[in-house]
Chain A
Amino acid sequence: GIQVEQSPPDLILQEGANSTLRCNFSDSVNNLQWFHQNPWGQLINLFYIPSGTKQNGRLSATTVATERYSLLYISSSQTTDSGVYFCAVDAASKLTFGTGTRLQVTL
């Protein structure tokens, strides 16, 4: 099956810093989503982005489908951004989740 790897696995930032999270996938996909899992376990949709670039406030995402990767940018990070970020790809009408990036934003 398709492999989805995320980097870095762990990231500690000071409040106000910027970061880039990466998602690599091993095969062609129909779509890609980015999620934030908060400390209580709830998954929150951030972006549905099979290709191109989208922005939503301090977050933006870019997917280059031909090169099989996606990037999530977080600018001016806040403590509420802490949690785990997952990308997930849809290759056969079902999502395969990446390995995740655990982000901690400190004061």
Chain B
Amino acid sequence: GAVVSQHPSRVICKSGTSVKIECRSLDFQATTMFWYRQFPKQSLMLMATSNEGSKATYEQGVEKDKFLINHASLTLSTLTVTSAHPEDSSFYICSAREFGGPGETQYFGPGTRLLVL
């Protein structure tokens, strides 16, 4: 089946540093990838949609200069949290929509837990 990986799975950083999270589709091509954020005991909130080779589309209220998204190939998207602060601590999850796959099914990565001290 379709597999999506994320790296790293967990990261702890100091306030003010930048953190890059990678999302890869391992056995399929993904023209569209999505980034979500999930706070404890809450639902997933879509942050942005990225299409290969074009600029990401950000949801209302998400700072595009703080959360930089790059989708350079059909199998890789990256999210960079710039100048991270404690309030950015969260669980970040990516998903990928398989090009030509069944319907509009999205496949999710295992998530990255970010803790900013």
Contacts and interface: CB of A to CB of B under 8 A. Distances in A.
Nearest to A50: B103
Given A86-B43, A96-B46, A98-B43, A33 B110 contact: no
A106 B47 CA distance: 35
DSSP class of A's interface residues: helix, strand, loop or mixed? strand
A69 interface: no
Interface in B24-56: 32, 34, 36, 38, 41, 43-46, 49
Interface stretch (A39-47, A58-66, A75-83): A39-47
Interface residues of A, number: 23
A31 B91 contact: no
Given A41-B110, A42-B111, A94-B34, A99 B43 contact: yes
Given A41-B91, A42-B111, A94-B49, A33 B106 contact: yes
Q: Which 7 A-B residue pairings sit nearest by Cβ, starting from the closest?
A: A43-B108, A41-B111, A97-B44, A97-B43, A42-B110, A48-B105, A31-B104
Interface of B: 32, 34, 36, 38, 41, 43-46, 49, 91, 93, 95, 102-108, 110-111, 113
